[in-house]
C-alpha cells in the first residue's frame, strides 16, 4: 500500500497531462530528483522525454490507444481507478491488484485554454474544441480523493507545490492535500462557469459568476466594512504610480469610464460619488479640463479625473494644482507624468482599452439583480421635436452633450449645459423639480451663466412645473424621454414661451 505517516503521503506515482508544457518543467525536475514514477500521454509525454524525464505512457497502462483525434486519452477505468481508489480499504487494494491498476499519488493538470480562446475572438467551433473533458475529470477525481491523492490543477500552483515537495522530501500532509483540493474545485467551478456563460448569451435561467482574481481591499465603503475586488484591473489599466485602489475609488472609476466612453471629442470629466461634478468638451484637452473644473471647483476636490485624450504638459500643469485621488487617461506626455507624479499617493492610470460591461449585477435582499448595461444613446436623427420651436444646431450639440451626462447621473437627475460645458446638475433627488432646483443653485453658486442653456432629464416630467422653472432661469431647449400622461401641458408651455423640446423615447434611470 502507499506509504502514509500520520496523514503524510509520500509521492511515488505521478500522472502528468498539460496543455502548456514549459511551465511544468521545474516541478517535473523536482519530482525526478525524488525518484517518482511518471505516467503521461500525447504531447506531454513527448515533452518529458525531450527533457530526459522517463514516463510510462497511459496507453501502455490501459492497453487502449488515444482515439478520435486525441479527444479520448485518459478516460478509462484503469486511470480513474488509479486515482479514486481508497488505499486504506482492503477491498480497493485487492481490486487494484486484480485488475493491475497502479495507485496514482499525484495528478498534475493544465486544462485546455477555454477562456483564453473565447477572449481571442475564435470561431464557435474552435472555442468548443477547447472544452476540456479528460483534464477536468482528472482534477475532480483527484480532488475528491484528497485523502490519498495530491492534485495540482493549474500552472499557477506548480512552484508552490515544488517548494513543498523539496522542503518535505517528497511528502505532503493531509492539510496540504486538502488545500490543493480546494484550489482544484476553484479551477473546475470557474472553468465550468465560463463554459455555461458561453452557451447562455441572453439572460440565463440560473445565476452563475466566477472571477479567478481576488484583490483584498483595505476596507469596503467604510473602514468598519471588509472589502474585496474580484477582477483583473491589469486588463484595463497600466498603473503608473500611487497607493492601492480603494472600494470607493473603484466605484468612481467605473462611473468615470462609463461616462467618458460616450464622447469622441476631447473631453475631461471629474467624478464624485459616482456622479459627474464637472464635464467639458473642447478642441483640446486643456480647455476641456478648464471647463470641467469650473463646473464645480469645490466638488472637484478629491475627485476622480478622467480624459479621453492625451494629457499634455500644459494640461498637467493646471491639473496639478488640484487635490485629486485618481487620474485616468489613454496616454500622457513624459513631462505631464513628471508633473503629476510629484505627489506620490496620487494614483495615475493609463487606460489600455475601452471598458464596457455587457451585464450589470447588484445584490439585493437574498439574491442578485442582473440587467443589460444601458448601452443605448438616442441619436438626434431619431429625436421627435414636439414643439413649434426647433432647436438650433448649437442647441442640438448641447442637447447631445447634456443627454450623455444625464444618462450617467443618479436619478432623479437634471443636467444643465451650454457650449459643451456642464453648468449644473441635480443628482439623486426624490422629485424632478428638486433636481432642477439643485442644478440651478449649483450653477449660480459658481457664477455660471445658464441663460440660453439647455436642460436634460433622465426621465419624463410628470408635471410642467420643471419646464416653467427652467424658463424662468433662461433655459431655451429641453431634452427628455417623453411619455408622461401630461406631456401635452409641458409642450403647450414650451410653445407659448418659444422653448424647443425634443423627446428621445429612451429613459435613463440610474438608481
> Which is the catalytic residue, given 4, 32, 273, 290?
273
Q: How is residue 490 written as a grid cell? A: 409641458
Cα 442-443-447 angle, rounded to 5 deg = 120
Residue 104 has a CB neighbour count (10 Å cut-off) of 29
Which residues are within 8 A (CB) of 504 and not within 5 positions of it... i.e. 6 or more apart?
378, 382, 383, 384, 403, 479, 480, 481, 482
Integer Cα distance of 479 and 454 in angstroms: 8
Q: Are 478 and 383 in contact (CB under 8 A)?
A: no
User: DSSP letters along 84-150, please?
Assistant: H--TT-HHHHHHHHHTT-PPP-EEEEE---HHHHHHTT--HHHHHHT--SHHHHHHHHHHHTTTT-E
SS3 384: strand
Q: Are 458 and 411 in contact (CB under 8 A)?
A: yes
Integer Cα distance of 445 and 276 in angstroms: 17
Residue whose grid cell is 497502479: 102
Q: Is 144 considered catalytic here?
A: yes
Residue 312 belongs to what H/E stretch? none
Given the DSSP bridges, would you call strands 8-10 and 171-172 parallel, antiparallel or unpaired? antiparallel
> Which is the catalytic residue, given 144, 350, 355, 394?
144
> How far lies 161's CA from each of 37, 84, 120, in Å?
17, 21, 30
Integer Cα distance of 80 and 134 in angstroms: 10
Which residues are within 8 A (CB) of 128 and not within 5 positions of it... i.e. 6 or more apart?
none
> Among 408, 187, 157, 396, which Cα is nearest to 277's?
408
Integer Cα distance of 299 and 446 in angstroms: 11
Integer Cα distance of 210 and 192 in angstroms: 9
Q: In what order do the strands lie in the sheet with 171-172?
A: 4-5, 8-10, 171-172
> Among 153, 151, 147, which Cα is nearest to 132's?
153
Helix boundaries (H) for 368-479: 393-407, 432-445, 465-473
Integer Cα distance of 289 and 279 in angstroms: 8
Integer Cα distance of 226 and 216 in angstroms: 9
Integer Cα distance of 87 and 174 in angstroms: 14
Q: Are 15 and 28 in contact (CB under 8 A)?
A: no
Residue whose grid cell is 444625464: 406
Q: Is 273 considered catalytic here?
A: yes
Catalytically active residues, by annotation: 144, 273
Amino acid at each position: 500500500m502507499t506509504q502514509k505517516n500520520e496523514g503524510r503521503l509520500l509521492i511515488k506515482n505521478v500522472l502528468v497531462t498539460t496543455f502548456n508544457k514549459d511551465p511544468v518543467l521545474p516541478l517535473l525536475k523536482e519530482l525526478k530528483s525524488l525518484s517518482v514514477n511518471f505516467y503521461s500521454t500525447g504531447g506531454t509525454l513527448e515533452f518529458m522525454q525531450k527533457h530526459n524525464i522517463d514516463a510510462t505512457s497511459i496507453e501502455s497502462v490501459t492497453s487502449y490507444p488515444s482515439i478520435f483525434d486525441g479527444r479520448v486519452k485518459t478516460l478509462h477505468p484503469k486511470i480513474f481507478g488509479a486515482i479514486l481508489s481508497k488505499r486504506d480499504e482492503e477491498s480497493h487494494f485487492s481490486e487494484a491488484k486484480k485488475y493491475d491498476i497502479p495507485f496514482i499519488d499525484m495528478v498534475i493538470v493544465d486544462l485546455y485554454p477555454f477562456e483564453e480562446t473565447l477572449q481571442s475572438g475564435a470561431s464557435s467551433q474552435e472555442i468548443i474544441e477547447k472544452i476540456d473533458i479528460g483534464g477536468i475529470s482528472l482534477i475532480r477525481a483527484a480532488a475528491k480523493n484528497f485523502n490519498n491523492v495530491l492534485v495540482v490543477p493549474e500552472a499557477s500552483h506548480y512552484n508552490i507545490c515544488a517548494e513543498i515537495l523539496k522542503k518535505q522530501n517528497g511528502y505532503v500532509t493531509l492539510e496540504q492535500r486538502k488545500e490543493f483540493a480546494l484550489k482544484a474545485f476553484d479551477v473546475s467551478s470557474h472553468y465550468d462557469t465560463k463554459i455555461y456563460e458561453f452557451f447562455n448569451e441572453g439572460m440565463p435561467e440560473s445565476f452563475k459568476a466566477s472571477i479567478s482574481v481576488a484583490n483584498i481591499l483595505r476596507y469596503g465603503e467604510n473602514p468598519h466594512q471588509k472589502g474585496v475586488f474580484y477582477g483583473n484591473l491589469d486588463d484595463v489599466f497600466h498603473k503608473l504610480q500611487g497607493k492601492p485602489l480603494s472600494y470607493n475609488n473603484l466605484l468612481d472609476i467605473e462611473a468615470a469610464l462609463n461616462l467618458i466612453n460616450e464622447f469622441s471629442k476631447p473631453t475631461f470629466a471629474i467624478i464624485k460619488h459616482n456622479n459627474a461634478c464637472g464635464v467639458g468638451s473642447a478642441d483640446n484637452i486643456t480647455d476641456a479640463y478648464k471647463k470641467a473644473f469650473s463646473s464645480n471647483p469645490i466638488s472637484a476636490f478629491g475627485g476622480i479625473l478622467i480624459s479621453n485624450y492625451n494629457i499634455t504638459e500644459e494640461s498637467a500643469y493646471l491639473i496639478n494644482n488640484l487635490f485629486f485621488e485618481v487620474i485616468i487617461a489613454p496616454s500622457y506626455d513624459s513631462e505631464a507624468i513628471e508633473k503629476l507624479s510629484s505627489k506620490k499617493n496620487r494614483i495615475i492610470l493609463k487606460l489600455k482599452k475601452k471598458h464596457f460591461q455587457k451585464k450589470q449585477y447588484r445584490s439585493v435582499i437574498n439574491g442578485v439583480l442582473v440587467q443589460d448595461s444601458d448601452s443605448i444613446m438616442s441619436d438626434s436623427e431619431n429625436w421627435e421635436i414636439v414643439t413649434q420651436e426647433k432647436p438650433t444646431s448649437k442647441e442640438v450639440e448641447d442637447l447631445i452633450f447634456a443627454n450623455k451626462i444625464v444618462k450617467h447621473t443618479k436619478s432623479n437627475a437634471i443636467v444643465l449645459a451650454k457650449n459643451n460645458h456642464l453648468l449644473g446638475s441635480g443628482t439623486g433627488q426624490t422629485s424632478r423639480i428638486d433636481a432642477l432646483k439643485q442644478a440651478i443653485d449649483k450653477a449660480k453658486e459658481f457664477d455660471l451663466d445658464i441663460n440660453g442653456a439647455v436642460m436634460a432629464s433622465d426621465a419624463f416630467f410628470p408635471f410642467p412645473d420643471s419646464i416653467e422653472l427652467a424658463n424662468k432661469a433662461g433655459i431655451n431647449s429641453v431634452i427628455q424621454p417623453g411619455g408622461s400622461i401630461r406631456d401635452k401641458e409641458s409642450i403647450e408651455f414650451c410653445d407659448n414661451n418659444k422653448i424647443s423640446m425634443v423627446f428621445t423615447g429612451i429613459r435613463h434611470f440610474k438608481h
